Amino acid sequence: MEVTLKSKAKLEKATTTSRSPTFDKLMMPHGFTKEHAEPRSHAFMLIDHMIVDRGYGGRFQLKDWTYINKTGKLWDIIVDTGKELPQTAKAANTTCFTCKTSDWVLKLPYMGDPHPASPLKRAPNPAAIEMAKNHLQNPMGCIHCHDPHAAKPRVIQHALIDVVVDRGEGTYPYDQKKSKEITMEKITFKRGGQEFRSIGILNKPDSNILCAQCHVEYNCNPGIDTKTGGAVGLDDRRTNYYPWVNVFDLQKKYESINFKDFRHAVTGAALTKIQHPELETFWGSKHERAGVECKDCHMPKIKKKGKEFTFHGMRSARYMLKDTCQRCHPQWTTEEADYHVETIQNYVRGKMRKAEFWLGELINAFIRAKDTGVSEEVLKEARKEHDRAHILWEWWTAENSDGFHNPEQARQSLAESINASQKGIEILNKAISQKVAQK
């Protein structure tokens, strides 16, 4: 196991030099505003989940700060202080663990539904804490992607099996030809005569689908039923759900199941909290159409001691350019390859900042509108634009390539976000002007 020290720990996204400087304003009061850090090596995924300030109220901490680069068993690295800290949240639940570790695979029933053979199910704290203490030690392991007997490709992530097989949306929903070439078979294991768990067997290797077990937009949180206005709790399967669509179709997909994550503290708009949609972003990109898979850039073939094997460190291609970019672009030097990546990301980051600015202006316009006494009917109309502008922006703060996985889509999405924010501002400013004129 090699630790990538270039992948910094505790790098908060909501800082002036990171991905989303005004994140806290745009996301208030969501729990992610307590801490939303850049990802680092997979070896730390369970540890970082337990110690993040938005997860468990701050009660789990490293034994001391020198443990920040230590890998190994969870409870050898962290300690339960039993104390909650100020400015934290308790947003974690048992479903979170299905990405962070493989230790749950024989214990958590399919989709986290209640089952008489296990005490575990979809549930918030303190059930998540009890699950961690009693059953979890390791981060994601080999069995997440490989059959333990023959090492053939398979998936264990319930929600991915659900969308591909149970809901019948296939492995590549925007490419029916490819979806027929890459198929998944659901294998069910029963306890007490009813389904307890399932795995998905691929007909041939496809690292895009294996990585889609986690690197997708998904919902694993309670939220709001937009049809009834009531709360959606973890007893509802919508709290373990893959939309399985790209950024432009996400708003419509969540409308189809009447679900939203939270209401914005200022505007009152029902909004979506997006996770890390790397695969959906990659769909239809230049690299994906050329047959490139996740493994080619993040798990390249490397040689050590005369043997060639697939690197399983799953790190950014930028940390191993000779084995990734330069294999397909041999005319580039390492510096030139890095330059090309940096150029795309710099451009997209600029568009992200502009989209953030206009979303901030839209939120400010809501404040003025409310102070002026603009009607709820007008506010409701503007909230639709806030919802759209938010999705088209936040997708790119959650997606971890800063647009590199699909720069054309990133530019279009962020431009449309700006348009939606400006339309919302126009709706509110017009109503404000009418109110002022009436007075």
Element (H, E) at 407: helix 407-438
Amino acid present at 222: P
Mean pLDDT across the chain, nearest whole number? 96
pLDDT the model gives residue 6: 85
188 touches 158 (CB < 8 A) = no
For 228, counting Cβ atoms within 10 Å of its Cβ (0-12 exposed, 13-18 middle, 19+ buried), the class is exposed
Instruction: Specify the pLDDT at position 341.
Output: 96
In whole angstroms, give the CA distance from residue 251 to residue 413.
Answer: 13
pLDDT band at 41 (very low <50, low <70, confident <90, very high): confident
pLDDT at 4: 84
Instruction: Dump pLDDT digits (tens) for 390-413.
Output: 999 999 999 999 999 999 999 999
Strand bridging mode 223-225 / 259-260: antiparallel
Q: Which residue has the tokens 């691929």?
A: 202
Residue 250 corresponds to which tokens in the numbers above? 């996400």
DSSP 221-261: S-EEETTT--EE-TTSGGGSB-----GGGHHHHHHHTTEES
State residue 304's pLDDT score: 86
| pLDDT for the residue 439 | 77
Tokens of 55: 């997860």
* Beta-bridge partners for 155: 200
pLDDT digits (tens, 9 = 90+) for 274-319: 999 999 999 999 999 999 999 999 999 988 889 999 999 888 999 9
Measure the CA–CA gap between 242 and 417, rounded to whole angstroms: 23
Least confident of 7-11, 229-233, 268-272: 7-11
Query: Collapsing DSSP states into helix, strand and coil, what is residue 184?
Result: strand
Average pLDDT value for residue range 191-218 = 96
* Helix ranges, 190-333 (H): 207-211, 250-256, 278-282, 286-289, 294-298, 325-328
Mean pLDDT value of segment 193-213: 96
User: Given the structure tokens 């094997």, which residue do they identify?
Assistant: 309
pLDDT at 1: 66
Three-state SS at 395: helix
How many angstroms separate the first and last alpha carbons of the chain? 70
Please say whether the beta carbons of 100 and 46 come within 8 A: yes
Mean pLDDT of 320-341: 96
| Tokens matching residue 122 | 């979809």
Q: Which helix (H) or strand (E) holds 363?
A: helix 334-372
Mean pLDDT calculated for residue range 114-134: 96
Structure tokens at 379: 């506010």
Q: Give 69-138 as a DSSP string.
A: G--S-HHHHEEE-----SS-----BGGGHHHH-STTTTTSPGGG--BTTBS--S-BTTHHHHHHHHH---
Split at pLDDT 50, 70, 90, the class of 45 is very high
Select the more confidently predicted residue: 206 or 18: 206
Q: What average pLDDT score do residues 74-102 get?
A: 97
- Quick check: 220 and 236 in contact, CB under 8 A? no
Tell me the CA distances in angstroms from 190 to 94, 182, 194, 375, 417, one per residue in order. Answer: 21, 26, 5, 55, 46
Q: Are 144 and 207 in contact (CB under 8 A)?
A: no
